[in-house]
Structure 1
Amino acid sequence: MTENMITNPILPGFNPDPSICRVGEDYYIATSTFEWYPGVQIHHSRDLANWTLVSRPLARADLLDMRGNPDSCGIWAPCLTYADGLFWLVYTDVKRLSGSFKDAPNYVTTAPSITGPWSERVYLNSSGFDPSLFHAPDGRKYLVNMLWDHRQTGHGDQFAGIVLQEYSVAEKRLTGPVHNIFKGTDRKLTEAPHLYFRDGWYYLMTAEGGTGYDHAVTLARSPDLLGPYEVHPQKHVLTTAFAPDAPLQRCGHADIVDTPAGETYMVHLCSRPITVTGSAGQSEIRRDLPGSNVLQRRSPLGRETAIQKVEWRDDGWLYLAEGGQHPTSLHTPRPAGIVAAAAEETTVRTSFAPGPLPSAFQWLRSPEPDRLFSLDASPGQLRIYGRQSPGNMFEQALLARRQTAHRYRAATRMHYEPRDFQSFAGLICWYNQCQYHFLSVTREDDGSRALRIMSTLGDFPFGKAVFSGEPEKLPDGPVELRAEVDEAALQFSWRVSDGAWQTIGPVLDATILSDEAGVGEGNNFTGAFVGMAAYDIGGQGHAADFDWFDYETLG
């Protein structure tokens, strides 16, 4: 049965806020990257089931510079469209998250090909986030975004509606009046607008209910672009707010695309939480319905991208093809007449060679990667220059990849001679400055080289470091470091040469690497990463060299 089905999520691991477009027989999905550089991930598919990363377009300082951006700011909800022979990418670079204000400048860039070159960005506005570009049937273009009202203090009231303004291609600016076309429903927190035109109707799709377990996709329509917009008979086309049994949770923030055969599919964000019912590191984990003794659900994989087949019914409204308002399985039917592509081969080991950084990896904020790492300084190795402290918002030398499964093993071999206790490097499991576990090599006061486990456990906004166990003395030479995650449990280990792996420290709580941990859902928006990092808080740039990086899912 599953051979005729698409398996969800189609983009596992941190890949939220999908925007989809089709060009001929090619499909593209753009997702949010927040503080990770380069900005925006774009995946490609021919069958809607198998996807390959083909571009991270915001890779130049003139397009994106996030130095100083707080955690979970940066690139929110890009919109990717195709018109007039160009790809159009609209995006927000959020500069402030907490408090009454959201500083959210919106931009547009274009390219003749999905791989570029991307034009210099054009500033649009800063009135709210989640911008999208609507290409109207008459050829005019309109920017649509949510409106932020800092005067309001009630729950969700700062989300003041969806506004629309015309964009002049010739003048490269917004022009004419701003129209508030939709105030949302009683679910509130109305955001993520996408406009479509079909059979004489303008359809407005939004996300509501926040980014947590009350998330929803709301659909409204009007015969007039400026409204008023009537709400879907079900109100929400997709939500798992009332379905704690559903295999995908937190479903919301969607976009739709038609196939060449006229079928319609919806991409949306979701999460696959694990349920923690015991103490940290000793958790009993269940994936089924949370019971009475549940402490909470947590989603280390972050918000992922899934797809559902949907259909337009005789009443002119869109519905899930399977009926209801939530997916009941991890599968949805494949498009008719499209031959399934071969799944992309995965390899456990990533080797390092001169040239571009392997595509699985990103870094944080900076448009100046040469100050953080080099693949040319020591050919065959990745050299990471020790920079500022873990969680520094300006220049942090951390290169990592997404966690894509609840069970995985990651390892690396590192050559490193720390100068003193202010220089340390190693293997890191990362969410943000207040939520990470770090197995590092450093220098003790007696001159010995040693392993230490350093963590921050979510005490936002301070991110106070705590240390697990006693330092482990290390012999000279390269050292291999490993992290093994089994749902909620994280165990570090190490070895030298080809010796046996030795565990170090206690079993750690892997679920702190989630947005439900720390300050909790609705305040954090990324997902767990694992990778390599080097720090030299003494400011000397002392470097560490890495031979390879292994990442293996364990089922």
Structure 2
Amino acid sequence: MPQLLNPILPGFNADPSILRVGEDYYIATSTFEWFPGVQIHHSTDLANWTLITRPLTRKSQLDMRGNPDSCGVWAPCLTHDGEKFYLVYTDVKRKDGSFKDTPNYIVTAEKIEGPWSEPYYVNSSGFDPSLFHDEETGKKWFVNMIQDHRRRPRAFAGIRLQEWDAKEGKLVGPMKTIFKGTELDLVEGPHLYRRNGWYYLLTAEGGTGYDHAVTLARSRDIWGPYEVHPQNPVLSSVNAPLAALQRAGHGDIVDTPDGKTYMVHLTGRPVTQARRCVLGRETAIQEAYWGEDDWLYVKNGPVPSLRVEVPGTRDEEVYWEEKRYTFDTSRGLDIDFQWLRTPEPERIFKIEDHKLQLVGREAIGSWFEQALVARRQTHFSYDAETVIDFSPTDEREFAGLTAYYCRYNFFYLTVTAHADGQRELLILSSEASWPEGRLKFPLAEPVQIPNEGKVKLALSIRGNRLQFSYALVAKGNEDLKPIGPVYDASILSDECGGHQAHGSFTGAFVGVACSDLNGTERVAKFDYFTYRPVRHESDRYEV
């Protein structure tokens, strides 16, 4: 059987939930504050995966305006009951401080592409919900971790179970905390399965950092008591600090048509001596098997393997392909792109005259309405470029190219103007300034440019080094020249995302943005966007 190199979903693709329907496999992953909500990838061989949809597309399903960084959609669960798909998700409204506000919802669809239903509100008792369809009893069970804000500093109070009535669209009957977790602590991410008369409860423990792990417990009765796997945890990198795949945890399992079992899980690939995961939490896969004792074991585990045998052979060259995005009204925005929080994209961008037109709104880093359209960074080294047409009138209007993690960590090459109206290029950054979110302004001397004409903006990342460059297109010379110093690209990572441990959950993006703090909705036009992967010594995704 061919081997592939983990991860199977590189770049920010956290908290995987896997499902097989016939010959088709689907993985749903968290999107946090990025809209539309939930990424769903498809495969027929567990090796080659294609992003096919983001189902939460309407204001009635998801409105994240005001959600802080790393809130929004947490840990979706995708299931199928033989008739239709069910997607369970949390829209986290607050996560820091004494409380967490965590409303949970369910949407359904007959086809994976949709249309997806209006959401059923379920509860707000905790996060990481999942839905288990018990084929033997015909019942559906809703499970989620529960939050007890009185238990400080550890408010993770266990896994709660209650029946879901699909016809009534609500929880019914008794509820019970069925699992308190183990000494690994911070129990979350529950998934239930049934096999050979046992109910199995797979959970995530240890937080989302370098102590992360997958725990398995089982019971003859769905209500418990649950006994813990004799070799707990079943998957973790905690005792293997030199392993290529770190932060391994939050898993889910699937069976192939021929009876093999695989586990998908989140992971991170740290770089630099500071162990920073610039690509965020990614999705990897491991082969597993059921022992004679009816316990699940990860093959060659519990440390996750970098190379894994799967049914298919991946086309590695697809990973290295340059993506040149052009803008056409009939096609709309390419599925690779997302924006932040708002379910009303028409207020922040449109495609017209074969250009992406961003409407200047709030400043970059706003938690409400900013015009920022970007794609995931999926390589440790890459080049990105665009051509912008923008005519600012003063220093409160700016637009350009950004490498972005969150409001606390970004680099931003902007076309703006001096107070007297003279156009200039200026680099803005909010580098590692949590909790104040201060702009380091300016990082380099502004460069005066003509008041008319398009400008090519580019950035190059080579491992932990970021360099901006530009060219004046109107001058007829598009040779790029550097602007500003070389910056530390590794700060665009979970470890520098503006929170303490276990607090930053997304990944680095690269894209375009536009702000108009005067409120006049000045528009910036972008001709194209190019993302060019570069093979580099720091890239650990080599064949």
Query: Smaller-chain TM-score range?
Result: over 0.9
Between stretches 89-98 and 521-530, larger displacement belongs to 521-530
Assess if the C-alpha contact under 8 Å between 1:385 and 1:535 holds in 2. Answer: yes
How do 1:119-138 and structure 2 match up within 5 A? 119-136=117-134, 137-138=136-137
For residue 346 of structure 2, the aligned residue among 370, 394, 398 is 370
Q: 1:135 Cα shift?
A: 0.5
- Show the counterpart of 1:293: none
Contact 2:3/2:313 (8 A) holds in 1 = no
Q: Distance in 2 between matches of 1:493 and 1:271?
A: 30
Q: 1:493-504 counterparts in 2 under 5 A? A: 493-497=469-473, 498-504=477-483
Structure 1: where are the runs of 5+ without partners? 277-295
Checking the alignment, whether the CA contact within 8 Å between 1:211 and 1:250 is kept in structure 2 is yes
Residues of 1 paired with 2:38 and 2:446: CA distance?
39
CA distance in 2, matches of 1:547, 1:434: 28
Correspondence 1:456 to 2:413:
no
Matched, 1:325 2:295: no
Residue by residue over 1:247-300, the C-alpha shift from the partner in whole angstroms, topping out at 9 and shown as x without a partner, is 110000000000000000000000111023xxxxxxxxxxxxxxxxxxx21111
Aligned partners of 2:2 and 2:313 also within 8 Å: no
Partner of 1:260: 257
- Superposition deviation, residue 348 in structure 1: 2.5
For residues 314 and 188 of structure 2, the distance between their equivalents in structure 1, rounded to whole angstroms, comes to: 34
SS in 2 for 1:426: strand
Aligned partners of 2:47 and 2:313 also within 8 Å: no
Question: Secondary structure, in 3 states, of the residue corresponding to 2:231?
Answer: strand
SS class of match (1:178): strand
CA shift, 1:41, in A, is: 0.2
Which amino acid is the alignment partner of residue 186 of structure 1?
E
Match of 1:224 in 2: 221
Alpha-carbon contact 1:488-1:509 (below 8 Å) kept: yes
**Selected match of 2:443 from 468, 475, 479:** 468
Indicate the RMSD between aligned Cα atoms, in angstroms: 1.3
> Counterpart amino acid of 2:34?
W
Whole-angstrom distance in 1 between the partners of 2:167 and 2:83: 16
Q: 2:328 aligns with which of 353, 375, 395?
A: 353
The equivalent residue for 1:43 is 41
1:114 equivalent in alignment to 2:112: yes
Which residue pairs with 1:284 in the alignment? none
Report the CA distance between 1:446 and its aligned residue. 3.4
Percent identity over paired residues: 56
Q: Which residue of 511, 514, 531 maps to 1:534?
A: 514
Q: Which residue is 1:479 aligned to?
A: 455
* Unaligned runs of at least 5 residues, structure 2: 536-543
Distance in 2 between the 1:142 and 1:481 partners? 52
Paired amino acid for 1:351 = T
Shift of 1:364: 0.4
Counterpart code for 2:21: V
Q: CA deviation at 1:245?
A: 1.2
Instruction: Name the residue aligned to 1:79.
Output: 77
Does residue 286 of structure 2 align to residue 308 of structure 1?
yes
Alpha-carbon distance between aligned partners in 1 of 2:315 and 2:141, rounded to the nearest angstrom: 35
1:245 to 236, 242, 246: 242
TM-score (norm 1): 0.93
| Alignment partners' CA distance in 2, 1:327 and 1:95 | 33
Partner of 2:96: 98
* Cα distance in 2 for residues equivalent to 1:256 and 1:21: 8
**Structure-1 separation of matches of 2:455 and 2:52:** 34
C-alpha contact (below 8 Å) 2:392/2:421 kept by paired residues: no
Q: Does 2:254 align with 1:269?
A: no
> Which whole-Å CA distance do the structure 1 matches of 2:413 and 2:487 have between them?
12
Q: Which amino acid aligns with 2:511?
A: G
Q: Which whole-Å deviations, capped at 9, do the CAs of 1:70-114 have from their partners, x for residues lacking one? A: 111000000000113101000000000111111000000000000
Could you tell me how far 1:459 is from its partner in structure 2? 1.9
Output the amino acid matched with 1:511: S
SS in 1 for 2:14: coil
How much has 1:117 moved relative to structure 2?
0.6
Deviation at 1:343, TM superposition (A): 7.0
Moved more, 475-484 or 365-374: 475-484
Secondary structure (helix, strand or coil) at the match of 2:490 reads helix
8 A Cα contact 2:338 2:373, kept in partner: yes
Q: CA deviation at 1:339?
A: 7.1
Greater mean deviation of Cα atoms: 508-517 or 434-443: 508-517
Aligned match of 1:443: 417
Counterpart of 2:363 in 1: which secondary structure?
coil
SS at match of 1:175: strand
CA distance in 2, matches of 1:436, 1:122: 36
Aligned-partner Cα distance in 1 for 2:448–2:11: 35
Tell me the residue number matched to 1:290: none
Which residue in 1 is equivalent to 2:9? 11
CA contact (8 A) 1:19 1:80 kept: yes
Cα deviation, residue 169, structure 1: 1.1
1:197 corresponding residue in structure 2 = 194
TM-score (norm 2): 0.95
Contact 1:50 1:343 in 2 (8 A): no
Distance 2:116 2:323 in 1: 32
SS at match of 2:142: strand
CA distance in 2, matches of 1:235, 1:300: 29
1:193-214 per-position Cα deviation (integer Å, ceiling 9, x unaligned): 0000001000000000000000
Code of the aligned partner of 2:287: K
CA distance in 2 between counterparts of 1:300 and 1:269 reads 14
Instruction: Give the direction of change, closer, same or farther, for the CA distance of 1:347–1:506 in structure 2 (3 Å limit).
Output: closer
* C-alpha separation in 2, matches of 1:194 and 1:380: 45
Distance between the aligned counterparts of 1:405 and 1:76, measured in 2?
24
Match of 2:487 in 1: 508
Contact 2:4 2:313 (C-alpha < 8 Å) held by counterparts: no
Are the structure 2 counterparts of residues 119 and 243 from structure 1 closer, same or farther at C-alpha, using a change threshold of 3 Å?
A: same
CA shift, 1:458, in A, is 2.0
Partner SS state of residue 297, structure 1: coil
